[in-house]
Amino acid sequence: MGKVIAKNVVKRKPGYLYYVDAKGNVCEAKMARGGKKKKKKAKKTVKKKKKRR
């Protein structure tokens, strides 16, 4: 398991993943689906037409 070496060293942006690479550098990678909350879509109601006889 990893250890926390220092806190609040890197300013984090929402939607990005931060990790330490093999050389010891802190890297930033864009997450495939993170960072933004989805908006609720408004449901469309379709009125049914009455059949004429």
Encode pLDDT of 1-37 as tens digits: 677 777 888 888 888 888 888 888 888 998 887 556 6
Structural domain count of the chain = 1
pLDDT of residue 1: 65
Q: Does residue 52 fall inside a structural domain? A: no
In a domain, 17, yes or no: yes
15 inside domain: yes
**With left for phi above 0 and alpha for psi between -120 and 50, is residue 5 left, alpha or beta?**
alpha
Q: Is 29 helix (H, G, I), strand (E, B) or coil?
A: strand
Cβ 35 vs Cβ 43: under 8 Å? no
Model confidence band, residue 47 (pLDDT cutoffs 50, 70, 90): confident
Contact 35, 14 (CB under 8 A): yes
| Average pLDDT of the residues in 33-46 | 70
Range of the domain at 2: 1-31
Q: Would you say residue 11 lies in a domain?
A: yes
